[in-house]
A and B are shown apart, each in its own frame.
Chain A
């Protein structure tokens, strides 16, 4: 399709629980990115993939965050043992060229 799809739209977890977010990039796009938006502003880059390979993971808090993009499956971002500060909107974006990234609608994660 022509839109990046993200599920779920909202996710509520108790502190210490696991959270898993999904992203279906636009068909044909080789690059997938995850961003974290905290407090309605600050977009923080987390990780990018080129096909199923990690391209840049300099933004990932590696202790609890992991991500995958496997063939024929939605990409996923998983947070083990969530903390209060993980509450944010997580955006996925996909791209096929250097000059345009398409963003999904985001998943709002609330950690209680």
Chain B
């Protein structure tokens, strides 16, 4: 079975400072991992995905994440936060034996960016 734990429910940073959103996963199989962002009253947008290729994954808007199997982590980072990054971020895992499997969402991390 797969599960995801987002270690921080809220993260607050100043504009221009680095962002770190932490995610640990559990999976019986080789997982596919994703980060999605949800802006207020909007749908979900895919930031990046890991699907067993390069362990350092670059996404949109300057975000990147590193898959660390030994630590079962997939933390999301960005070198310099913008005000427009304020949103809810979801770490998601998918994976299983054969076929397409449902996405399992973490509880979300709310990122606040202060001027």
Could you tell me which A residues sit within 8 Å of B by CB distance?
A: 31, 33, 35, 40-43, 45, 48, 50, 55-56, 59, 91, 93, 95, 97-101, 103-106
Chain A contact residues: helix, strand, loop or mixed: strand
Per-residue CB contact flags for chain B residues 76-115 toward chain A (1 = under 8 Å, else 0) read: 0000000000001010001000011111110110000000
Residue from B46, B51, B100, B107 within 8 A of A41 (CB atoms): B107
Cβ of A41 to closest chain B Cβ, rounded Å: 5
A42 touches B44 (CB 8 A): no
Cβ of B102 to closest chain A Cβ, rounded Å: 5
A105 touches B43 (CB 8 A): yes
- Which residues of A have CB within 8 Å of B101? 56, 98
- If A40-B88, A98-B32 touch, whether A45 touches B102 (CB-CB below 8 Å) is yes
B104 touches A45 (CB 8 A): yes
A91 touches B46 (CB 8 A): no
A-B contact count (CB 8 A): 54
How far is B49's CA from A35's CA once the two chains are assembled, in angstroms?
A: 19
**Knowing that A101-B103, A104-B43 are A-B contacts, what are 19 other residue pairs whose CB atoms are under 8 Å apart, sorted by A's residue number?**
A33-B102, A35-B103, A41-B107, A42-B107, A43-B105, A45-B103, A50-B99, A50-B100, A55-B100, A56-B102, A59-B102, A91-B44, A98-B32, A98-B51, A98-B99, A98-B100, A99-B49, A103-B44, A105-B43
Could you tell me which B residues sit within 8 Å of A by CB distance?
A: 32, 36, 42-46, 49, 51, 88, 90, 94, 99-105, 107-108
How far is B45's CA from A101's CA once the two chains are assembled, in angstroms?
A: 10
B105 touches A100 (CB 8 A): no
- Which residues of B have CB within 8 Å of A50? 99-100
Shortest 9 CB-CB distances between A and B: which pairs?
Answer: A43-B105, A103-B44, A105-B43, A99-B51, A45-B102, A41-B108, A98-B100, A103-B43, A31-B100
How far is B44's CA from A65's CA once the two chains are assembled, in angstroms?
A: 23
How far is B30's CA from A98's CA once the two chains are assembled, in angstroms?
A: 12
- Which residues of A have CB within 8 Å of B90? 43
A98 touches B43 (CB 8 A): no
For this complex, 5 residue pairs linking A to B, each with C-beta atoms less than 8 Å apart, are A40-B88, A40-B108, A45-B102, A55-B100, A98-B100
